[in-house]
């Protein structure tokens, strides 16, 4: 009785957010699939800025120039990186011409991460959706925790480069920014977990297991980025 009363009250005061419906439409996702993506948004290893960006991507509320123009905070809808097309969320992360080299680099890196994959689900992996929303399922031979961390760093660096250019910086090398950022965080957690807190098992599970691109040799991390 009390439970149904509680449900009734909840129904009156809650409304489903409309932002995430963009992903349901674009990728024909069910609600349950969307819930799996949310699990990767709040992860201890991500910086607060990465979590914030992933949260905004999920809610389709990244402040692109298309959105900023709509609310009168930008004079132009054009992309600040390529200056050719309007900057909506798909343009920022997927369609911008200036992402071509980075996408090629990331595809090659993902191939390495998936190289020992032993699962039929590999056929379901679609690169665009993977970059925007991460991997939603477990796959034998693939460290999905690390993979989702890598993808979050990639999204963060794409948007960071965009913000740096918007603020007047020039010649920001996206691939180098990504490599530096990924190495920085993985090394930080290696020292924090393995050297300072005796939690090598946690580091192993999240960063080393089934991971061809980060290995530990003689107490030193070796990256193949
Ligand atoms: Zn562009």
3-state SS assignment for residue 66: helix
Q: Is the model's pLDDT at 20 over the cut of 80?
A: yes
Q: CB neighbours of 165 closer than 8 A, spacing ≥ 6?
A: 80, 81, 172
Cα angle value 127/128/132 (rounded, 5°): 115
28-47 mean pLDDT: 87
Q: CB neighbours of 190 closer than 8 A, spacing ≥ 6?
A: 203, 207, 216, 221
pLDDT of residue 72: 95
Give distance in angstroms: CA of 93 to centre of ligand 1.
Answer: 9
Chain mean pLDDT for the chain:
91
**Structure pTM?**
0.90
Give distance in angstroms: CA of 141 to centre of ligand 1.
Answer: 35
Half-sphere exposure (CA, 13 Å, Cβ side) for 54? 24
pLDDT of residue 185: 96
101-121 mean pLDDT: 91
Quote the CA–CA distance of 117 and 181 in Å, as a whole number: 26
Instruction: Report CA 99 to chain centroid distance, whole Å.
Output: 15
62-73 mean pLDDT: 95
Residue with tokens 């994959």: 117
| pLDDT one-digit tens code per residue, 70-101 | 999 999 999 999 999 999 999 999 999 999 99
Give distance in angstroms: CA of 71 to centre of ligand 1.
Answer: 21
Give distance in angstroms: CA of 173 to centre of ligand 1.
Answer: 15
Quote the CA–CA distance of 59 and 78 in Å, as a whole number: 22
Give distance in angstroms: CA of 170 to centre of ligand 1.
Answer: 15
Mean pLDDT is lowest, of 24-28, 79-83, 151-155, for 24-28
Give distance in angstroms: CA of 209 to centre of ligand 1.
Answer: 36
| CB-count exposure of residue 7 (10 Å: 0-12, 13-18, 19+) | exposed
Give distance in angstroms: CA of 87 to centre of ligand 1.
Answer: 6
Give distance in angstroms: CA of 130 to centre of ligand 1.
Answer: 20
3-state SS assignment for residue 119: coil
Q: Is the model's pLDDT at 164 over the cut of 80?
A: yes
How many other CB atoms sit within 10 Å of the CB of residue 49? Answer: 11
Give distance in angstroms: CA of 194 to centre of ligand 1.
Answer: 41
Please give the DSSP secondary-structure letter assigned to residue 85. Answer: S
Give distance in angstroms: CA of 211 to centre of ligand 1.
Answer: 32
Give distance in angstroms: CA of 111 to centre of ligand 1.
Answer: 25
37-49 mean pLDDT: 90
Give distance in angstroms: CA of 38 to centre of ligand 1.
Answer: 27
Q: Is the model's pLDDT at 1 over the cut of 70?
A: no
36-64 mean pLDDT: 92
């Amino acid at each position: 009785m009390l439970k149904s009363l509680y449900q009734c009250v909840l129904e009156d005061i809650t409304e489903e957010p409309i932002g995430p419906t963009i992903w349901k439409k674009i990728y024909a996702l069910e609600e349950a699939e969307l819930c799996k993506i949310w699990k990767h948004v709040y992860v201890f290893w991500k910086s607060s800025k990465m979590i914030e960006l992933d949260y905004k991507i999920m809610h389709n509320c990244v402040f692109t120039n298309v959105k900023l123009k709509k609310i009168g905070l930008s004079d132009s809808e054009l992309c600040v990186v390529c200056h050719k097309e309007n900057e909506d969320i798909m343009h920022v992360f997927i369609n911008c011409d200036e992402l071509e080299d980075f996408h090629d680099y990331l595809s090659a890196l993902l191939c390495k991460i998936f190289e020992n994959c032993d699962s039929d689900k590999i056929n379901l992996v679609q690169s665009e959706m993977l970059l925007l929303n991460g991997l939603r399922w477990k796959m034998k031979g693939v460290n999905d925790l690390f993979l989702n961390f890598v993808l979050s760093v990639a999204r963060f660096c794409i948007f960071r480069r965009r913000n740096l250019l918007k603020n007047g910086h020039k010649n920001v090398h996206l691939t180098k920014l990504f490599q530096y950022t990924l190495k920085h965080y993985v090394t930080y957690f290696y020292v924090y977990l393995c050297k300072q807190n005796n939690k090598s098992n946690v580091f192993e599970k999240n960063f080393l297991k089934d991971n061809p691109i980060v290995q530990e040799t003689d107490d030193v991390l070796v990256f193949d980025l």
